Every structure is written in structure tokens, then in C-alpha cells.
């Protein structure tokens, strides 16, 4: 039985930031695609034909940046809170098994 007593806050923040950037790219592509399709129909009436393309491109760029930043901040907060609570109540206990591959 192994117990995780402390988590390095910066390493968890980096991992969560990269996971958030990955999901941000997926959401940005989906948002950009929908913006190109529906924005060209609706946006041309209200804003002009080029604004829907700009919303799609900005969404593709800004969503991963914003989600990556939020993921980094939440990674720092989660690691900090885990370290405090694991000091009070104990860490997470994990059991590993060894398998021989002869």
C-alpha cells in the first residue's frame, strides 16, 4: 500500500493546463465550425459576412488559451488544497500489484 502525501503543485498545474488546452482545441474547432455555418446565415444579416469568420477564428484561438489558463490555475488550487487536507486527514492510499512476466 502506497500513500500519496503531497502533490507538486506546479506539475499538476501543467498537466491540467495541457488537458484543458486539448479540450479547448476540440471546443474551439466545434465552435469555429458552428460559427462559420450559422454565423454566415445569421451574422451576415446583423454584422456583415466577415464577422462570422472572425468569431470562428477568434474562438479557435482564444478558447484553448482561456481553458489552458483556467486549468493551470485550478491545478495550483487543487494541489494546494490536497496538500492541506492530506496533512489533516491522510493521503490517498493506492495498492499496486507486481506481476512477473517471465
In our burial notation (b when 16+ CB lie closer than 10 A, e otherwise), range 9-44 reads beebbeebbeebbeebeebbeebbeebeeebeeebe
8 A C-beta contact, residue 2 and residue 95: yes
In sequence order, the β-bridge partners of residue 90 are none
What pLDDT score was predicted for residue 14?
A: 97
Average pLDDT over residues 86-99: 86
The SS3 of residue 71 is helix
Higher per-residue pLDDT: 58 or 63: 63
**Sign of the C-alpha dihedral computed for residues 58, 60, 61 and 66 taken in this order:** positive
Q: What pLDDT digit, counting tens, does each position of 68-83 carry?
A: 999 999 999 999 999 9
Q: Domain locations in the chain?
A: 2-94
CA distance 48 to 83: 52
Amino acid at each position: 500500500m502506497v500513500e500519496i502525501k503531497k502533490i507538486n503543485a506546479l506539475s499538476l498545474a501543467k498537466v491540467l493546463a495541457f488537458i484543458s488546452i486539448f479540450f479547448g482545441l476540440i471546443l474551439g474547432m466545434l465552435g469555429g465550425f458552428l460559427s462559420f455555418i450559422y454565423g454566415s446565415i445569421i451574422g451576415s444579416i446583423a454584422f456583415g459576412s466577415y464577422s462570422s469568420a472572425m468569431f470562428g477564428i477568434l474562438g479557435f484561438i482564444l478558447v484553448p488559451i482561456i481553458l489552458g489558463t483556467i486549468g493551470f490555475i485550478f491545478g495550483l488550487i487543487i494541489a494546494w488544497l490536497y496538500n492541506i487536507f492530506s496533512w489533516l486527514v491522510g493521503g490517498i492510499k493506492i495498492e499496486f500489484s507486481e506481476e512477473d512476466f517471465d
